[in-house]
Structure 1
Amino acid sequence: MATFSERPHRPTDPVVAAMRAIERADFLPEALRDQAHQDHPLPLADGSTNSQPSTVRRMLQALDVRPGHRVLDIGSGSGWTSALLGQLTGPGGEVLGLDLTDFLVGFARTALSGYDLPWVRVDLATPDVLGTPGRTWDRILVSADGGQIPTELVSQLDDGGRMVIPAAGRMAVVTRAGQEVRTEHLPGQWAFVRLR
């Protein structure tokens, strides 16, 4: 039998490490915190949910966030994904979470205040405006299904940028290289609340 030192070294998955550092329970209503370790979505407000951990993990792994990245988090909900993204970007990065629900923006800001992540903020989204027109990002995470991949968000990807977005029950991974935009899909069917 191989000893520990003889086993091949496997670096820690940064997404798994971030999910260990940022407690899901801190981003849930108090009545649901005892369910934080269950792998299913949990209700928040106005039909929004806190996505199941395995879904969040797969989306963040596909997003491939690196230290120093500027990341837009659309449908940030209670702020859990924004905090995870902030853990992945580190202090050299920037994370902007956007949500349409006043209550959730306030909830997210309160939850984030328990972590030392000053480069992460959550703002109220402008109705009928997707993302931040006129600004580009290294990564965009979308946690709501708009039925298709919005061109408004593709245009907000920087050169070399990547977006993970559910569209019509499929999980799209959109990448930009110069003017070329490629779309691939993760396997499986995905259920999310509606975008907009």
Structure 2
Amino acid sequence: MDAVAAAFAATPREAFLPEGERERADDDWPLPIGHGQTCSQPRTVEDLLRLLAVEPGQRVLDVGAGSGWTTALIAHLTGPSGEVVGVEIEPDLARWGAGNLATVDRPWATLRAATPGVLGDPLHAPYDRILVSADARTLPRALLDQLADRGRLVVPVRGALTLAVRSGDDVRTSVHGYYRFVPLRDHVR
């Protein structure tokens, strides 16, 4: 079993869904988690994680962490020598997601409310990997600035799953299919 498949096996989606949605945890559909947001469908999350290519020991930022499921999956991939920070714009969802994350034994992962007016977590950058689980209008420069050298940013941009790889001041982008996500909302409140 490869690392991504092992992360899925060790991190059941059911524990990261509202009680009324748990019976649908195995469905390959996005499921509502409140505040107009969803827990992405497993096949899409698998595609995101494979493209992100997380390695043990890396520092990873999970933007739009929602229920905490992707944060927990990423934490399995980094292992205890890594660090995973999940940020969520909806404070109630961030509290709920942090509670879900606490049910798995991965203390090297945290989830918190995003700082109003700030995209990502620039105070604790750089990150080796950044995952965005919401559709951006353009490639977010603020997140590129938080990416370490040889880092990877995976973000849907107008539906196109975009991989940005930083090499010094050079950033190369490629598109890897089209997906539907909730919009990446302004972080200015």
Name the residue aligned to 1:194. Answer: 183
Instruction: Map residues 147-162 of structure 1 onto 2, 5 A cutoff.
Output: 147-162=137-152
Distance 1:127 1:166 in 2: 22
Q: Alpha-carbon deviation of 1:133?
A: 2.1
Name the residue aligned to 1:177. Answer: 167
Once the two structures are superposed, residues 73-110 of structure 1 have per-residue CA deviations (whole angstroms, 9 ceiling, x without a partner) of 00000000000000000000000000011221111121
Q: Alpha-carbon deviation of 1:114?
A: 1.4
Name the residue aligned to 2:3. Answer: 14
Q: Alpha-carbon deviation of 1:127?
A: 2.4
Name the residue aligned to 2:100. Answer: 111
Match of residue 122, structure 1, among 98, 111, 115: 111
Distance 1:163 1:13 in 2: 21
Q: Bigger shift: 12-21 or 70-79?
A: 12-21
Name the residue aligned to 1:31. Answer: 20
Q: Which structure: larger Rg?
A: 1
Q: Alpha-carbon deviation of 1:149?
A: 0.5
Aligned residues with identical type, % of pairs: 47
Cα contact 2:135–2:159 (8 A) shared by 1: yes
**Amino acid across the alignment from 1:75:** G
Q: Alpha-carbon deviation of 1:145?
A: 0.9
Instruction: Map residues 49-128 of structure 1 onto 2, 5 A cutoff.
Output: 49-128=38-117
Cα contact 2:95–2:113 (8 A) shared by 1: no
Instruction: Report the TM-score when normalising by structure 1.
Output: 0.92
Distance 2:117 2:30 in 1: 26
Q: Find runs of 4+ consecutive structure 1 residues off by over 4 angstroms.
A: none
> What's the secondary structure of 2:165's corresponding residue?
strand
> What's the secondary structure of 2:34's corresponding residue?
coil
Distance 1:97 1:141 in 2: 9
Aligned length: 184
Q: Alpha-carbon deviation of 1:137?
A: 0.3
Distance 1:132 1:38 in 2: 32
> What's the secondary structure of 1:144's corresponding residue?
coil
Cα contact 2:62–2:70 (8 A) shared by 1: yes
Match of residue 141, structure 1, among 127, 131, 140: 131
Q: 5+ unaligned residues in a row in structure 1: which ranges?
A: 1-11
Match of residue 164, structure 1, among 154, 161, 167: 154
